[in-house]
Structure 1
């Protein structure tokens, strides 16, 4: 069969879906990645065929400030307080996130090109990144099966489920999510139903202990770390002389920059390095020029790299410091590495790290106690033991290859 993969132009979202795409390719199926032009070269570097859709994803949205809520919106899609999550509040979430986030990441131009390419290429299945809803709409316009793959906790489906419970199955015209997708679908002669939000199947590489409710046709899968093609340097093949700690701010922040309100990573990155200079550890920091000002004095215990694949680096690390993004969390889980985070505010990073901490595999820090919290992790074997336990839980899941027959059946049913 032919499989079209749709993802927004964010590296971490592409990397999350590549192992599943390659499992399909290795099973003999044709696979083509459809993404915006500014991720096209990276998509080609995966070894898969790629096609550009829509216009470039803007690198900056300076008016979006994440000080209080993700993307600076009035409502927070990661909100969990039952008292706050009224039907009216969730309507506000849907109105905010469809009009700003959906239109920013995969707008009408992306959707039109997905449908146009699909009509020419005639795929049997559309596998879409679960934050790239143009993929869901396109699959219905093409009349083919679809499945979504979660790159982060499924707050869309969580809030949709609560909204339906509160409103008794929706609220007619007063339903911003149904209205948004209904308008998109009407252009292609299709109507909205709840499968547009939930997908006809959900492939979930996230740890079960994140605690997000699961919906029908939920398929857990083992997370397979992928960081793009790379060469492992000679020094990384040797045992470190001191305990090694990775410091990374994540691919998503690099990809989106001020689009998510993180207008300047330079000050915190430099402050982190200065604070960590007092420890008898080797710090390997993956920071680029935009995150380290020219002329910055780098401490003696720091190795600074623009980029290193975490999949190659983390097996040698005693801990990893990051902002709480799901991509980095999943790689750390896969390698059994304890985690320390000063959480960001893009997609519920604090909640993610609270779940990691509850598993005993990490801690949440702030800039003032970063060194103290890192010492606690390094000096307490229980963090490593817990990290290895949750790694083993992930390893017990089906591999992407194991899910291929289910996707084949899904496509066959749609064709029938």
Structure 2
């Protein structure tokens, strides 16, 4: 079967789809991957045929921020609801319009029999419908209380009408296509779950499989010693001041601290480090998580689900987008704590992290969620069910 997988060119939107794409290829399907050019090197390294579709997410957010009249440097102090509204326009209008236009001439050429479009890549899903190609929507995490997808839906209805589609037919999560949901049911938003009534396409559980590009795993991670605390602020919202505060707090603990600076922060510029802290630009997160006693992070979907799948408690320091909802969900299931902006002082990070390391309750709750995740159908099983 010819399969086109499509996602926004961002780590948090692309990485969750790669296990399904890899499983589809392993099952013998001919898989192409549509995304913006910045992610083509990754796609090619993994052996997929790249298809140029969509704009760069940073440029799209820059456009919307500029048109809002706000200073982009104020994004960390902007109320989350306003950020979510702007994100809705980015995903439902700016990126969706570009992707739909890019794929319009490509789909008749590729002739895919199914398009697997990521939940944030609405343009790919609309293009598939215009071309009469079967669609599957692949989630990238918890649906953030329905906020971002609902806000995006406010914009995408107009685009759907322009493309000759019935806006009512593409309303709701997944544009009316079956939704491959990598979020365990107990963590997923109840309103999102309630949307899957008998008269609409189903929600299909799919086990989240952490993906990370190969990188050296520091040898000391696997050596005996004090507990390992892993700190990352992700790839999109990482901010140097928050990272330095977290490092200073975690450096007070009787623990080893591994920091992934990511693409937005220069690891060499982090500053003086406590002896117990090591900073790397990039680490293979999927390999690190099973060794961690605690994960301190921003609340991105990939890290949240990856830590839960490994049964590791979390301290979440949300900065924007869906991170606040993910942090709330972690607290609700008892798998960790959160510190909101303004609360995350050096002392607070040290105190809460120490409490999480000492309290067996969050680890037990995280282990329970890990068992739920392990029981979800694997990518290979879902590929066999939906593509074969």
Range class of TM-score, shorter chain:
0.7 to 0.9
Following the alignment from structure 2 to structure 1, what is the Cα–Cα distance between the partners of residues 205 and 299? 21
Do the aligned partners of 2:244 and 2:270 also contact (CA within 8 Å) in 1?
Answer: no
1:263-295 CA-partner distances (Å, limit 9, x unpaired): xx1112112212222211111000147255737
Matched, 1:287 2:297: no
- Take 2:51 and 2:242, find their aligned partners in 1: how far apart are those partners? 37
Q: Which residue of 1 aligns with 2:34?
A: 34
Determine whether 1:272 maps to 2:246: yes
Aligned to 2:236: 252
Which runs of no fewer than 5 residues in structure 1 stay unpaired?
77-92, 165-174, 255-264, 410-416
Q: How does 1:188-337 map to 2 (within 5 A)?
A: 190-195=165-170, 197=172, 198=174, 199-212=176-189, 213-214=192-193, 215=196, 216-236=201-221, 238-253=222-237, 265-288=239-262, 290=265, 294=269, 296-337=271-312
Q: Is the 8 A contact 2:295 2:314 kept in 1?
A: yes
Please tell me whether residue 360 in structure 1 is matched to residue 337 in structure 2.
no
Give the 3-state SS of the residue equivalent to 1:22 in structure 2.
helix
* Cα offset, 1:202, TM superposition: 0.1
Give RMSD over aligned pairs. 2.6
CA–CA separation in structure 2 for the residues paired with 1:408 and 1:375: 47
SS of 1:250's partner is coil
**Aligned in 2, Cα 1:132/1:71: closer, same or farther, shift over 3 Å?**
farther
The answer to whether the Cα contact below 8 Å between 1:126 and 1:145 also exists between their aligned partners in 2 is yes
Number of aligned pairs?
A: 361
Say whether 1:153 aligns with 2:142.
Answer: yes
TM-score (norm 2): 0.85
Q: What's 2:160 paired with? A: 181
Distance (Å, rounded) in 2 between the aligned partners of 1:97 and 1:393: 31
| C-alpha contact (below 8 Å) 1:46/1:229 kept by paired residues | no
Gaps of 5+ in 2: 67-71
1:372 aligns with 2:351: yes
Mapped to 2, the partners of 1:294 and 1:234 lie a distance apart of 23
Q: Is the 8 A contact 2:8 2:54 kept in 1?
A: no
